[in-house]
Amino acid sequence: MDQDDTIFIITTETFRDIKRQSTVYYTIRSKYGIVKRRYTDFYSLRKCLCKMYPTKPVPPIPEKHSFKKLISKPLSYKNDPATINLRTRLLGSFLNNLTQEVEFRESIMVIRFLDPDERSWAEALKTPPFTSLPQSIFLSSPRSPLQPNPYHSYFPIPPLSLVKSFDSPLNQEFRPSELFFRRILKYLSHLHKLNKHFENDLHRYNKQLVGLGGSLNIFSLIDTTISKSNGTTLDENNSIEGVGQSVDSSFINLERFILHFVANFKEPIMELRSFCMVIINLLQYRKLKELQLCYLKRIIVKKQIRTQRLLDIERLSQKLEVALQQGASQSPTIANAIRNLEAQPSVYQSVYFDTKSYADDEDSCAEGVNNHVASDIVDDDDNYSMSESNSINLNSSALFHEYKDQRVWNMFSKVTKNIQAMTPLERSLEIQANCRDLQKLVHCFQLLNDDVTFVSIEIEKSTLRERQYVKDRFLELLENFKMILCIYSRSNQIAWENGI
């Protein structure tokens, strides 16, 4: 990336709206000019990029305010200086990471986000290409999200309770990558926890150095006053003053070390951990797309089997009717019985699909799952879960609301009417409906099969590339930690050698 492409967040400003609610604006300077954006603007930009490039690892952004901060600082949690400073650095890193990828750097979304002429980002989201983005990445084409295909609206959304138990030969090929990133994520989460404890210990140690240095300086001044009043010079006084100066130098060195430690190790570890979550989420998306394909295939097979049974019953009924008509011509009793049956009114039940249930005949997993697929990625003491800011929305109820057309529901819903209890008219209508649905479903299967192939190939490329990046980046961060620790140690050694 050229030096001119580097993006900086130079300042932050806090404004209050009509409701007296404060909002922090981040002033961004890039080659396009200077523009102000809120955190929610960054969040919406990333959300749009995830829909536009569902197979690409979009860099993470800092998480939303935690519930812990909301409880501890209910009135000032939004204006917490430490949180604002952290977000400033991480949001700047997010923008620079975007510009390192050609696709993101040349995206009209990123360009408009940095354009000073786009003063209101909320208004920009109401214009193309943002308005052309799909509502769900599972009901759109991953190859061309801005060019919707009507058949994508017929794709089924499988119950999320099937995700953990689902497996396939193709999924086994991605299993090593998933295990690798989960293992790295677990280590990074544990390291992040240690970093927080380490930083707190450094701050406590620094306070003790301040107290020690102040005590030694006061003692040196008192000793100097006593020596002057007696007309004598004490060598011990120089030693005490030298130790006090060394302590003061240690305090300054430790302040620098903490700053370098946070900027060059702690925060990059946070970013790397969030990036691993992004890759895991990509792998989960690929798995869900394959599950979607298998689920559609299962629906097609069951609908074909039911249609075949209906056709068999229809043929048997026709043969039976022919046989009865032949018997009626030879037997007055059979003819009278047939006339009595035809005189009875036929009750037609128009509803033979249970649209309230999404599962098929053999499944009982249609309950709404209102959590993210990656919510159990790490099982540590912090119960760390996937941040909403960096995850794909896999909420079941939200996905189900994509089906606005009742006919689409009927294609995937559970059949409750027993074939043997159906009237000829009901059988005929369902056969016609199933034949129409099967034509659409077969086309959907071909389209979804192509999508799964594309998604698998692209995500495989991404995971292989990012797997090496994570290794190299982690080794680089360890080298940074070693370097700042060595600099701190040498500075302290020089300070104490000169002070004593």
Domain that holds residue 62: 1-133
Say if residue 280 is in the same domain as residue 426: yes
pLDDT score, position 452? 96
Say if residue 123 is in the same domain as residue 164: no
Residue 378 lies in a domain: yes
Say if residue 121 is in the same domain as residue 146: no
Say if residue 299 is in the same domain as residue 226: yes
3-state secondary structure of 35: strand
Give the chain's count of helices (H) and strands (E).
13, 5
Say if residue 301 is in the same domain as residue 421: yes
Nearest-CA neighbor of 95 among 137, 37, 138? 37
Say if residue 421 is in the same domain as residue 470: yes
Residue 366 lies in a domain: yes
pLDDT score, position 487? 94
- Dihedral (CA of 470, 471, 474, 479) sign: negative
How many domains, the chain?
A: 2
Say if residue 157 is in the same domain as residue 179: yes
pLDDT score, position 322? 72
Say if residue 73 is in the same domain as residue 167: no
pLDDT score, position 66? 55
Say if residue 160 is in the same domain as residue 278: yes
| Domain finish residue from 101, 133, 165 | 133
Residue 336 lies in a domain: no
Residue 331 lies in a domain: no
Residue 207 lies in a domain: yes
| Domain finish residue from 133, 161, 186 | 133
pLDDT score, position 215? 78
| Domain finish residue from 76, 100, 133 | 133
Walk along the chain (500 residues) and give the pLDDT tens digit of each residue.
555 678 999 999 988 766 677 889 999 999 999 999 999 999 999 999 999 999 999 999 998 765 455 455 555 556 778 888 899 999 999 999 999 999 999 999 999 999 999 999 999 999 999 999 998 899 999 999 998 788 888 898 888 888 888 999 999 999 999 999 999 999 999 999 999 999 999 999 988 888 887 777 776 666 555 555 555 554 555 677 777 788 888 889 999 999 999 999 999 999 999 999 999 999 999 999 999 999 999 999 999 999 999 998 888 887 777 766 666 566 666 566 555 655 554 433 333 333 333 333 333 332 332 233 333 333 344 444 445 567 655 544 444 444 444 455 456 665 557 887 888 888 889 999 999 999 999 999 999 999 999 999 999 999 999 999 999 999 999 999 999 999 999 998 888 887 65
Residue 332 lies in a domain: no
Residue 337 lies in a domain: no
- Dihedral (CA of 436, 442, 447, 448) sign: positive
Say if residue 188 is in the same domain as residue 74: no
Crossing angle of helices 424-499 and 267-330, rounded to 10°:
170
Residue 343 lies in a domain: no
Say if residue 70 is in the same domain as residue 189: no
Say if residue 102 is in the same domain as residue 174: no
Q: What is the DSSP string of 344-374?
A: SPP---S--EETT--S-TT----S---S-GG
CATH of the domain at 90: 3.30.1520.10
